[in-house]
Amino acid sequence: MPNESRTLTEQRIRKERALATMRELQLKQLEGTLLPAAAVEAAWAGAVIKLRNAVLAIRSRCAAQFADPRHAEQVIRRECEHCAEANRG
């Protein structure tokens, strides 16, 4: 019997620790200091896509500043694509 009561006590301690952890996480959510992983992932994905599109748009915005816009656009485009591809997961 002593082993059973020790096991029961250990289980109760584990349960109380788990409940305390859950309550702390719930409190952090309510305070706004803990965000759902899916929401964070979606926000980052959107930011990365926006940045990638901005980088790829550099070529058309800058090409006219060079003597040969077509050549400049090709160079800029190649570099932008290189950056975009290098940073893909």
**For residue range 39-76, what is the model confidence (pLDDT) as tens digits?**
999 999 999 898 888 887 877 777 777 787 778 878 88
**Same structural domain for residues 27 and 64?**
no
- Statement: residue 17 has pLDDT above 90: yes
Whether residue 16 is predicted with pLDDT greater than 80 in this model: the reply is yes
Q: What is the pLDDT of residues 42-52, one digit of tens each?
A: 999 999 898 88
Looking at the structure, tell me whether residues 54 and 19 fall in a common domain.
no
Indicate the pTM of the whole model: 0.52
| Count: domains in the chain | 2
Distance in angstroms (rounded) separating the CA atoms of residues 65 and 42: 36
- Expressed as residue numbers, the domain containing 26 is 1-34
Residues 30 and 41 reside in one and the same domain: no
In this structure, the answer to whether residues 75 and 40 fall within a common structural domain is yes
Q: Do 40 and 7 belong to one domain? A: no
Average confidence score pLDDT of the chain: 85
3-state secondary structure of 36: coil
